[in-house]
Chain A
Amino acid sequence: MPIQVFQVLGLYLVTTMVYIGWVVKSNRDLDRKINDR
C-alpha cells in the first residue's frame, strides 16, 4: 500500500480528532467558568 494513502488518512483522522478534542475541552472549560459565576 503506498505511504501517501496513510498520510492522507492520518491527516484526515488526526485533524478531525484534534478538532473534536479542542471543541469538547473548550465547551467543558466554559461550562465550568459559567457555573463558577
Chain B
Amino acid sequence: MIQLKFRDDIYLAITGIIVTLAAYFALFIAPAEVTMGELVRIFYFHLPPAIICYLALLVSVATGLIFIRTKDFKYDALSESGALLGLVYGLITLISGAIWANATWGVYWNWDPRETTTLILWFAYLGYFLLRMSIENPERRASSAAVFNILAFMTVPLSYVSFILWPSLHPRLGDDGGGLGLTGTMVQALVMNIIGGVFVFGYVLKKTYDLRIKRDEYNSKLMEEM
C-alpha cells in the first residue's frame, strides 16, 4: 500500500522557489503603476498576508464550529492554530498597511475604515487568546473559545467590506475612481505572491497544529506521572 507522507524538505523547497520567483516578479518584472508609481510594489507584499489572515481565521472559526458538534479536541487545536496565525498575519497586514499609508498619504495611521476594522479584528482575536488563558477546564475552554470565535469572526467580513460601507482612501482592485489599475504582469505578480503565501501558510498551520497536539500529549504524560 502506498503511504503518503508529508515531506518537509520537498514542500519547503517548492515553497522557497515559488516565494523567490514571486518576489523577483514583484520587484523587477511587474511595471510601475500609473498613479502610485513604484510604491505599488508594496501591494504585492501587503495583500498576501491580509488574505492569509482571513484564511487562517476562516480555518479557525470553521474548525471551532466542528469542535462544537463533535467535541473532538483535534479541531480545537486546529482552531487555536488558525487563530494564532490570524494574529501573526494580521499584525503583518496592519504594520505593512501603515508603512504604505505613510508613503502615500503622509501619515502612518489615519483611522481609515479598513485600518480601523482590521485593528478591531486583531483585538477581537487577542481577546480570543485572553479568554483561552482565563479558563482552566479544557472542555469549557475549548467550547467557550469556539463560541467566542463565531463572534470574533464577524469582524472579518466587516473588515473586508469596510471600504464599501464607509468613505475610505484604501485602494481597491479594479476601481475606476483612483484605485489600483493592475495590468497583466502586475496581476501575475500578485497571484504568484498569493500562491507563495498560501504555500507558506499550509506549512506553518501544519507545524503549529503539530506543536499544539504534542503539547497536549506532553501535558497528559506529566499528569499521569503526578
Which residues in B have some Cβ–Cβ distance to A below 8 Å?
23, 27, 38-39, 41-42, 45-46, 48-49, 88, 91-92, 95-96, 99-100, 102-103, 200, 203-204, 207-208, 210-211, 214-215, 217-218, 221, 225
Number of interface residues of A (CB under 8 A): 22
**From B211, B217, B218, B221, residue with most partner A Cβ within 10 Å:** B211
Give bound CA distance, A30 to B220, whole Å.
13
**Residue pair A15, B92 in contact (C-beta under 8 Å):** yes
Classify the secondary structure of B's interface with A: helix
Give bound CA distance, A5 to B46, whole Å.
10
Contact bitstring A23-37, B, C-beta under 8 A = 1, else 0: 110110011011001
**Residue pair B92, A4 in contact (C-beta under 8 Å):** no
Please give the distance in Å from A22's CB to the nearest CB on chain B.
Answer: 9
Partner of B42, one of A4, A16, A34: A4
**Residue pair A34, B217 in contact (C-beta under 8 Å):** yes
Please give the distance in Å from A19's CB to the nearest CB on chain B.
Answer: 6
Q: Given A7-B99, A23-B204, 17 more contacts at CB 8 Å?
A: A2-B39, A4-B39, A5-B42, A9-B27, A9-B45, A12-B96, A16-B92, A23-B208, A24-B207, A27-B210, A27-B211, A30-B211, A30-B215, A34-B217, A34-B218, A37-B218, A37-B225
Contact partners of B39 in chain A: CB under 8 A: 2, 4-5
Please give the distance in Å from A14's CB to the nearest CB on chain B.
Answer: 10
Give bound CA distance, A14 to B55, whole Å.
21
Partner of B204, one of A2, A8, A19: A19
Partner of B38, one of A2, A16, A34: A2
